[in-house]
Amino acid sequence: MDTCRIPANASKCSGSTMECFMVLSTRAQKISIGILCGLFGTMCVFENSLVLYLIFSSPGTRKKPSYLFIGSLALADTLASIIFVCSFVNFHVFHEAGFSKEVFLLQLGGVSTSFSASLSSLLLTALDRYISISRPSEYKLLMTRRRAWTALAVLWVTCATIACLPLLGWNCCVLDSACSELFPFVDDNYLSGWLCFVVLLLGCIVYAYAHVLWRARQHVAYMEKHQAQAGKQNSRMRMDVMLAKTLVMVLAVLMLCWSPVLVLMIYSVFARLSDRLRKVFAFCSTLCLLNSMVNPIIYALRSKELFCSLRRLLSHLRRQLKVPEEGPEAESTHKSSVVET
């Protein structure tokens, strides 16, 4: 098979050029990508949808800003999984290149919006945890539901605006500039700017969590020193420290899953990629689905409130399944016991 080189300029912005970005050449590679995307994507949608249901079905969690930010993260992961799997498999496995430039950039914008919103939600959660730990007496005044919803609205609008810039005209076809070697029609300067935005978000998250961990460590030392004064305040501190550790685990998984993709994207800005590296990038891109799949598992294992909600949901489903199996008599007995309770 002849090697298809990606043009450095925008002289080839037709649909046929998109075939040069279809780097999976063998049947085994296509099957592997299809299985990974199908498995990870299905689990991502199911798990994150479950997290959203657990958060917004419980009055205790949906009113808390912390869980609103976690809900935003789950929503971003759900959208990213759906858009990414559909567009990625359609492009690399089935080699569908008949859609227009606008449709492709719209799909790419959807994935970029979701990933940026996921990072931004983590940043808001880090700031929320820092305020809760450092200024517990003023937390409810500083972090209200209205401010949380306003921050989320600004977050999603900003991420969507930045992601849609190529669709609005900042692409190498319109500007007649250097095109990216990884994404059709994407301008190299835009990719550099988007990478700077993502690195800035990651830097702010790491900086915020460094302060969260520092304050959490101080609180752990305080609790060990004042064991006899265990009460409401210490219980609140334990919850804050627990949630801070949970979100650090989320951040660690995020960095491990997205580092290979970001490194290759940064490298593509400064150097020309070989066909082998472009294939590696295609496979590394599926790690974003793994990240979205692991996050809900961390919530279920580390968040006491979500875990209790999940147990109640499973118990309810188990009772619903037992009623048809036991027959009409068991059903009437079950109803009478519920009434007595």
CATH number at residue 113: 1.20.1070.10
pLDDT of 230 > 60? The answer is no
- Of 43, 52, 53, residue with least CA distance to 81: 43
Kindly state the average pLDDT of the residues 246-255: 77
- In this structure, the number of other CB atoms found within 10 A of the CB of residue 77 comes to 30
pLDDT of 185 > 90? The answer is no
Least confident of 5-19, 61-75, 211-225, 308-322: 5-19
Kindly state the average pLDDT of the residues 288-295: 85
Query: Where is pLDDT greater, at 193 or 220?
Result: 193
104 near 184, Cβ under 8 Å?
Answer: yes
Least confident of 103-112, 217-226, 231-240: 231-240
- The total number of structural domains that make up the chain: 1
Residue 319 belongs to a domain = no
Residue 321 belongs to a domain = no
Residue 181 belongs to a domain = yes
- Global pTM reads 0.81
Residue 11 belongs to a domain = no
pLDDT at 64: 87
Torsions phi, psi of 136, nearest 5?
-65, -35
Indicate the pLDDT class of residue 301, thresholds 50, 70 and 90: low
Average pLDDT along the chain: 79
pLDDT at 300: 64
141's CB contacts (< 8 A; 6+ apart) are: none
Residue 177 belongs to a domain = yes
Domain span at residue 297? 25-311
Torsions phi, psi of 186, nearest 5?
-85, 130
Strand partners, 179: 187
Residue 120 belongs to a domain = yes
